[in-house]
Structure 1
Amino acid sequence: MAYMYMPGATAVGITYDGGVVMASERRIAYGNFVVSKTTKKTFKITDFVGACCAGMVADMQVLAMQMKAMTKIRKMELKREIPPNSVAKMMSTMMYERRYYPLMTQVIVGGVDGDAVIYTLDPLGSVLPDDYASVGTGAEMALGVLDQEFKPKMSEKDAVNLAVKSIKSAIMRDNASGDGIDVLVVDKNGTREFTAN
């Protein structure tokens, strides 16, 4: 019965015309027990790359902290911004190196390097590029909305509204998701974070 203590969550990433929107709800639940209602699962990695997660938030917090440090060092070496695909590959390598004691988190990495791109990473470090993605126990419900309503080259406002709508649909049916929505927007001007209801 250990499976019932795997934490649930819902996170989504969507590309739009000029940027990326990442959103996640704030609840941490183990089985039927709600541990927290205020946990942030969106992370700014660099000025132009962000991430969101589902699963063990502690693992993602450590991964995000290490990635922030590694990207700062890499930026000083290269004297330019680190593109999102490089961040995803670095994160993938770190996760694969720990494959025997994996970081129990699913991650969506997204950002802007000319084009807006997102990548989904599983606990073993597989990197899957896509235009939109969802991870976590509420992913099926969120993808039901995203599959129907995603359009290439959407406006930022439409992408934010779609991200929030998809998370809300997951909250309606997934008891491990809920308690507000954090949104992270990344575009050519940098990152912005806010909370949606």
Structure 2
Amino acid sequence: MDSIIALTGDGFVMCAADMTNARSIVVMKEDMDKIMELDRHRLLCMAGEPGDVAQFTEYVQKNVHLYQLRTGVSQSTRAIANFTRNELAKSLRKNPYSVNLLLGGYDQHDGPEVFYLDYLGTLHKMPFSAQGYCAYFILATLDRYYKPNMSEQEALEVMRKAIDEVRIRFLIKQPDFLIKVVDKNGIRTVSK
């Protein structure tokens, strides 16, 4: 029942995720951060089974750090996306993870990028995307209001419209969303 959303703008990526951790009919937590910081310029939005999400995303985060320690070079967003996709595809044949991800990052050469990854190992670069049940409601909203090279304020308005759509249309209550932005200066949390 996770909802994660990401979009690119003029020199930044904006990610949003609901903060509710629920299983079946029980809400366990309402302040969960579902947007993991992989490094200074990469965000990984996560949805899926809590155990699989925690194990797989920490595995990816630690391997990103290990690569940087070994080589002294930070991987690009595309390289991290391909590594993550490869690990999902390998695990699919052995012990599959029930995780869906949106990877957003900013690179000096490539600029802002968002990658869609699902539990089957699908990888696709997109200007905006959503994972979870919210995708049924907000992809049309994002398609209607998204414009390439939006300012951060315009992107925040589009994100608010998408979140409002989830709150209106979705049967399950998701009261709080966390919004983070990554750009050339790094990662920061944006007030809703």
TM-score (norm 1): 0.88
Aligned-partner Cα distance in 2 for 1:122–1:136: 10
Q: How far did residue 152 of structure 1 move?
A: 0.1
Q: How far did residue 63 of structure 1 move?
A: 2.2
Look up the equivalent residue of 1:84 and give its one-letter code: T
- Greater alpha carbon shift after TM alignment, 58-67 vs 89-98: 58-67
Structure 2 partner of 1:111: 105
Aligned-partner Cα distance in 2 for 1:171–1:131: 23
SS in 2 for 1:152: coil
Aligned-partner Cα distance in 1 for 2:127–2:164: 20
SS in 2 for 1:153: coil
- Does structure 2 conserve the Cα–Cα contact (< 8 Å) formed by 1:26 and 1:177? no
Aligned-partner Cα distance in 2 for 1:56–1:90: 21
Aligned-partner Cα distance in 2 for 1:105–1:182: 19
Q: How far did residue 125 of structure 1 move?
A: 1.6
2:162 is equivalent to residue 169 of structure 1: no
Aligned-partner Cα distance in 1 for 2:23–2:172: 8
Aligned-partner Cα distance in 1 for 2:173–2:15: 16
* Structure 2: gaps of 5 or more residues: none
Aligned pairs for 1:14-163 (under 5 A) are 14-99=7-92, 100-114=94-108, 115-163=111-159
Q: How far did residue 129 of structure 1 move?
A: 0.7
- Greater alpha carbon shift after TM alignment, 26-35 vs 122-131: 26-35
Identity of counterpart residues, as a percentage? Answer: 22
Q: C-alpha offsets along residues 101-120 of structure 1, whole Å, 9 cap, x if unaligned?
A: 32112100010113111101
Aligned-partner Cα distance in 1 for 2:54–2:125: 22
Aligned-partner Cα distance in 1 for 2:48–2:172: 11
Aligned-partner Cα distance in 2 for 1:171–1:59: 26
Aligned-partner Cα distance in 2 for 1:168–1:101: 37
Query: Could you say if the C-alpha distance between residues 180 and 136 of structure 1 is closer, same or farther in structure 2, counting changes exceeding 3 Å?
Result: same
The count of residues paired between Structure 1 and Structure 2 equals: 189
* Structure 1: gaps of 5 or more residues: 1-7
- Greater alpha carbon shift after TM alignment, 28-37 vs 148-157: 28-37
Q: How far did residue 195 of structure 1 move?
A: 4.9
Q: How far did residue 14 of structure 1 move?
A: 0.3
Aligned-partner Cα distance in 2 for 1:27–1:76: 34
SS in 1 for 2:45: strand
SS in 2 for 1:191: strand
4+ runs deviating over 4 angstroms: none
